[in-house]
């Protein structure tokens, strides 16, 4: 493959050594991206248009859907272009923007999923006080904290990564401009960057995940105290969708950002990075719509109104 890039471009290798696999990935990623656009947009519209969904859980869910839309749109179009054609390049500016947005949105999702776990914990453990504790104003404040935290993390992490002395070949062995891949591309001392990455991984991955696990520990204790099997099933049902999303999200994040330094782990991390960027945003709306009765009812009400309007 001929590198037509300029000296300031990066070369995103992806799976360029397997052209047949790239064509398959192009189709899979395109379908996943379309599902992401339709599914998350639908959840946002339902949360806005249906008054019965103007409650804390759906404030967080609409924020998560908007985040997933931005997350995939920041990388998938460039990824599709690179997978389809012979050019695998991304400009330094494009790489910088992609890195900044990825850090912003990835950190925001870590915090937002933690906030959603707190919401579910209060719903199960303090059902009578839920409306008093988790009110809409607090929800928007917590969502704002998540977004501001992501912005601060991106501002702190992006400049040191982009100021690394990159090797002349500028070949990124990945689909995306992510911190671990850019650190591996450096031909200089990366000690500070590795320490910064480790510290941020602990603060924004390990700590939120620990808080989520603690929340589900409290939820499990509360569920076990419920006498009826129907009550236990209902309580678990309020958390199951969030628990699945958390499992998918954090398993891919840990595989990308907390992987050991060896070729096998890096190749595996490439697959998990692809799933993290494309797979989870497309699966999240399916998980919440297929397992959430309120979303299904809201969709039926919306479609019913459409039919009524056409009939009149």
pLDDT tens-digit readout, 81-112:
888 877 788 888 988 999 999 899 999 999 99
In a domain, 181, yes or no: yes
In a domain, 79, yes or no: yes
In a domain, 64, yes or no: yes
In a domain, 108, yes or no: yes
- Write out the residue range of the structural domain in which residue 264 sits: 10-303
pLDDT band at 303 (very low <50, low <70, confident <90, very high): confident
Residue 295 has pLDDT above 80, yes or no: no
Q: Rounded to whole angstroms, how far apart are CA atoms 29 and 23?
A: 10
Asked if residues 116 and 240 have their Cβ atoms less than 8 Å apart, the reply is no
Q: Closest Cα to residue 293, out of 242, 246, 238?
A: 238
Record the pTM. Answer: 0.85
In a domain, 312, yes or no: no
Per-residue buried b or exposed e for 79-90, using 16+ beta carbons within 10 Å of the residue's own CB: bbebbeeebbbb
- Domain count for the chain, please give it: 1
pLDDT band at 269 (very low <50, low <70, confident <90, very high): low
pLDDT band at 230 (very low <50, low <70, confident <90, very high): confident
Asked if residues 74 and 140 have their Cβ atoms less than 8 Å apart, the reply is no
The total number of residues written for the chain in this structure: 312
pLDDT at 212: 95
CB proximity list for 85: less than 8 A, separation 6 or greater: none
In a domain, 310, yes or no: no
Work out the number of other CB atoms within 10 angstroms of the CB of residue 30: 16
CATH number, domain at 195? 1.20.1070.10
pLDDT at 267: 64
């Amino acid at each position: 493959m001929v590198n037509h890039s300029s000296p300031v471009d990066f070369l995103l290798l992806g799976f360029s050594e397997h052209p047949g696999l790239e064509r398959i990935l192009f189709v899979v990623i395109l379908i996943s991206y379309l599902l992401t656009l339709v599914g998350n947009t639908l959840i946002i519209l339902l949360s806005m248009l249906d008054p019965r969904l103007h409650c804390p859980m759906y404030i967080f869910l609409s924020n998560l859907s908007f985040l997933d839309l931005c997350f995939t749109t920041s990388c998938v179009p460039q990824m599709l272009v690179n997978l389809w054609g012979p050019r695998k390049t991304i400009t330094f500016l494009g790489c910088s923007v992609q890195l900044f947005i990825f850090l912003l949105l990835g950190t925001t999702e870590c915090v937002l999923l933690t906030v959603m776990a707190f919401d579910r914990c209060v719903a199960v453990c303090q059902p009578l006080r839920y409306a008093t504790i988790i009110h809409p104003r607090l929800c928007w404040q917590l969502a704002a904290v998540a977004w501001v935290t992501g912005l601060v993390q991106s501002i702190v992490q992006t400049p040191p990564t982009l100021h690394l002395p990159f090797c002349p070949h500028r070949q990124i062995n990945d689909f995306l401009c992510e911190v671990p891949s850019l650190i591996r591309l450096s031909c200089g001392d990366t000690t500070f960057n590795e320490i910064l990455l480790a510290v941020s991984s602990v603060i924004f991955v390990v700590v939120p995940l620990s808080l989520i696990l603690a929340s589900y520990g409290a939820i499990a204790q509360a569920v076990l105290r419920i006498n009826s099997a129907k009550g236990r099933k209902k309580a678990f049902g309020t958390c199951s969708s969030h628990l699945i999303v958390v499992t998918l999200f954090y398993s891919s994040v840990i595989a990308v950002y907390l992987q050991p330094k060896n070729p096998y782990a890096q190749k595996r991390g490439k697959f998990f990075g692809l799933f993290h960027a494309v797979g989870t945003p497309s699966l999240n709306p399916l998980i919440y719509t297929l397992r959430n009765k309120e979303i299904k009812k809201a969709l039926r009400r919306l479609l019913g109104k459409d039919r009524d309007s056409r009939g009149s």
